[in-house]
Structure 1
Amino acid sequence: MNGRLLRPRLGVIGGLGPLATADFYRKTIEAVPAASDADHIPLIILSVPQIPDRSRAIREGSDRPLPWLIEAVAMLNGLNVEIIAIACNTAHHWYDELARGSEADIVHIADAAIAELQRRYDGGRVAVLATRGTLSSGFYQSRLREAGLHCANPSRPPFQLAVDEAIHMVKIGRLAEARAACAAAFQSCADDGLGAAILACTELPIAAEGIVPEGMQVIDSTLALALECERRLRGTASVRNAAI
């Protein structure tokens, strides 16, 4: 076979972490109103769990993950994908460098998540549940400001400690503990009167399954990314939304 029958349209940089990538793949499948296998998006997942820790690199002022990410983008471009998704929020700290070197458009996960939030929430204050690296990078805060919204995370230390714990527990497969930590983070948001939150780490939608507080608008960044990829490739995913 010369390969011309096998052309993935979507390239996914994953493994950051592996369970979060599996969650993205599942949500990409569920976004398609498919009547048969052939209706689904042909895609390739490049899972590289060895890419250096993104959050730590940002907090240390290092670009250690960047050469790995550049190589991953180049590999997917070599397969002639139409668009690229990065199933990791924190890696979008390097989005501009990656996008400049890519022939395929790279879908920005924060743009997808905030667009979904705007469709469902007309308030101003939003919690961004994320790694410390993502928060330090500031790309969510700047995009929220451009959208007329404001990142207003609870300032008390237990909030971010609970978010950190939820992310870590998903990464090591301890999901019951991840959900308990995520519930604590949600409680901090509720105590501060926040009516909306973005799960801005791809581990967090896994931790949040079944525990989203009633009355809080919670946006799943993983699902938002999957829906945006589907919209760009088929224009059919508007039948769903990315709120949990």
Structure 2
Amino acid sequence: MSQVLGVLGGMGPAATLDFLGKLQALTPANRDQDHIRVIVDINPQVPDRNDPFAQPGPVLAEMAGGLQGAGAQVLAIACNTAHVHADLISRASGLPLVDMIETACRAARDTGARRAGVLGTRDAVRLYHEYIAAQGMGLVTLSRDDQARFMDLLARIKGGDLGPEVRERMAALAEALVAEGAEAVIAGCTEAPLVLDPADVRVPMVDAGEELARRCVSVCLGLEPLPQGR
């Protein structure tokens, strides 16, 4: 019997639905019963993870405890930036966590890249720096102005704008990372793949949400061990 997956979601809602679609698509199944049981808390009311004065940690910890109480046996967070609070989430639930950022960095390493660029929020990029270094790679980041442009695009995507201008601008930011030496680009924000396709990037693109979905399937079906503590 497969492990029950609990997902902390809603950050934002469209990105969570995208993650769940990938989870379903990546599960080898011939019938309903072959799929993984998933318990999801889609909570758009989590305080802004990018506001230094907000306090999302306690809300995320409460969500994790609720998922554990509902029967989840493994957790995943469908938001890169929320992984700042991963330790608190794990302690609150007592459950193993499939770490999106660690998983994406492994996937970037497996492309053969020596330097990886990251499209993500400032706090997410800080986490990626740690994990990319652990994989023996260098990190390429956006300039200050381009990072501000990324955050503007993120707000537009969260507001429902998935149009051609937003897509072109996101692709231009990915190209800026490549121009600075990135040999792989990690879409390190779950909104980014809503407007950025691998065909838009001239080096391998790692979709952190897709890689998380793939690993959750593997863990929940017992194809790889449960993750240990961070």
Normalization by structure 1: what TM-score? 0.85
Is structure 2 residue 111 aligned with structure 1 residue 120? yes
> Any idea what SS the aligned residue of 2:45 has?
coil
Is structure 2 residue 98 aligned with structure 1 residue 107? yes
Query: What's the counterpart of residue 212 of structure 2?
Result: 225
Give the whole-Å Cα distance in 2 for the aligned partners of 1:166 and 1:222: 18
Query: What's the counterpart of residue 34 of structure 2?
Result: 39
1:1-244 aligned at under 5 Å gives the runs 9-56=4-51, 60=52, 62=53, 64-121=55-112, 123-135=113-125, 138-155=126-143, 157-176=144-163, 177-209=165-197, 211-214=199-202, 216-235=203-222
Give 1:184 shift: 1.6
Query: What's the counterpart of residue 228 of structure 2?
Result: none
> Any idea what SS the aligned residue of 1:54 has?
coil
Spell out, residue by residue over 1:16-42, the C-alpha distance to the aligned partner (whole angstroms, 9 max, x if none): 000000000000001112111221111
Give the whole-Å Cα distance in 2 for the aligned partners of 1:21 and 1:42: 16
Query: What's the counterpart of residue 227 of structure 2?
Result: none
> Any idea what SS the aligned residue of 2:152 has?
helix
Contact 2:3 2:74 in 1 (8 A): no
Give 1:99 shift: 1.4
Q: Give 4+ residue runs of structure 1 displaced > 6 Å after superposition.
A: none
Amino acid paired to 2:16: T
Contact 1:159 1:184 in 2 (8 A): no
Give the whole-Å Cα distance in 2 for the aligned partners of 1:231 and 1:197: 24
Give 5+ residue unaligned stretches, structure 2: 225-230
Give 5+ residue unaligned stretches, structure 1: 1-6, 238-244
Give 1:101 shift: 2.4
Give 1:187 shift: 2.1
Distance 1:69 1:130, change over 3 A: same
> Any idea what SS the aligned residue of 2:76 has?
strand
How many residue pairs end up in the alignment?
222
Spell out, residue by residue over 1:50-94, the C-alpha distance to the aligned partner (whole angstroms, 9 max, x if none): 1100011xxx2x461011101100100101211111100000001
Amino acid paired to 2:212: L
Give the whole-Å Cα distance in 2 for the aligned partners of 1:101 and 1:154: 34
Give the whole-Å Cα distance in 1 for the aligned partners of 2:191 and 2:169: 12
> Any idea what SS the aligned residue of 2:148 has?
helix
Contact 2:120 2:188 in 1 (8 A): yes
Give the whole-Å Cα distance in 2 for the aligned partners of 1:12 and 1:163: 26
> Any idea what SS the aligned residue of 1:30 has?
helix
> Any idea what SS the aligned residue of 1:229 has?
helix
Amino acid paired to 1:54: R
Amino acid paired to 1:192: E
Contact 1:89 1:201 in 2 (8 A): yes
Q: For structure 1, which segment, 93-102 or 219-228, has the greater mean C-alpha deviation from structure 2 after superposition?
A: 93-102
Give 1:8 shift: 7.8
Give 1:132 shift: 2.2
> Any idea what SS the aligned residue of 2:206 has?
strand
